[in-house]
Structure 1
Amino acid sequence: MAKRADASAGTPATVALTRARVDFTAHSYDHDPRAAAYGLEAAEQLGLDPDRVFKTLLASVDGTLAVGIVPVAMQLDLKALAAVLGGKRAEMADPAVAERKTGYVVGGISPVGQKTPLPTVLDESAILHETIYVSGGRRGLDLELAPDDLIAVTGGRYGALARRR
């Protein structure tokens, strides 16, 4: 997979992936500010199976922020995230805290290139796909990369995190 030269795609995520020499492709789409579900919008706009498009969610696990990455059509199982990270309790992080800690806006939070590196868990369903899509650091930009490369660049791990709505 070749990196797509797209000057408008220069985000901390693309910079971090380039520095780490991770192979990725940037995919831009026209973001509708009225969209209620950013991840599902990305899947629809890019013509992708929602099981290949993953959303990045921040949660507090026993008071420590962590990242859970799950398919956009599914929900993050907070108990499962806590268990994978050796914690007892998890709750979704306040959006303002998520933005401050990652350096990204809600709906554009990438698991890569965050201001503060956080414990990261990618749902194990990602291994079913050669490549997956995650936010590229702004609304209207997704990055396609191999799940193992995402784990490597974030220092993350796999876990069973997703549940159907």
Structure 2
Amino acid sequence: MSPAADLDPFAPTLTPGRARALPWATVMAGSLVTTVPVIATVPILPPCGLLMLLAWRLLARFALRPWAAAPLGLFDDLLSGQPLGSAVLLWSLCFLAIDLMERRLVFRDFWQDWLIASGTIVLCLAGGRVIALPVGAHVDGALLAQGVVTILLFPVSARLVAWIDRKRGLA
């Protein structure tokens, strides 16, 4: 079965308003993952809201406006327990860093997207540690494990975002 056979020109697509709201809803759903009660000896739950935000920004550039990182970061701050404004600042810095890299890189493939996402994930996790915890706190091992898990889960979130983007009818 070819990919062209999957294309049904008469299949109903989402309305434009719903198609524009879907990236916002998926990032907010990713942020809601932190409210799921998980019992763990080491806190390595990845920031799923950040993963979804980065996947939308890197795969579907115009799905989220450049200013979208601030309200989505505020939503994440309200749910995650981080100091208010930390995700607003860090997610906005990630959008700015990605925008600067896009000006330099004309063409990108998935490996470069993964490398860019890895850098911004490390920036966000390290920045969140500096903002939220005292300097003497011994959380570097857990932070390293969380960073590795988050970086390794980026392809999963990118695949999910690509599937959602194709289903929303704007790809």
TM above 0.5, one fold? no
Instruction: State the TM-score, normalizing by the size of structure 1.
Output: 0.28
Q: TM-score, normalised by structure 2?
A: 0.27
Q: Which has the higher strand share?
A: 1
Higher Cα radius of gyration: 2
Specify which structure has the higher proportion of helix.
2
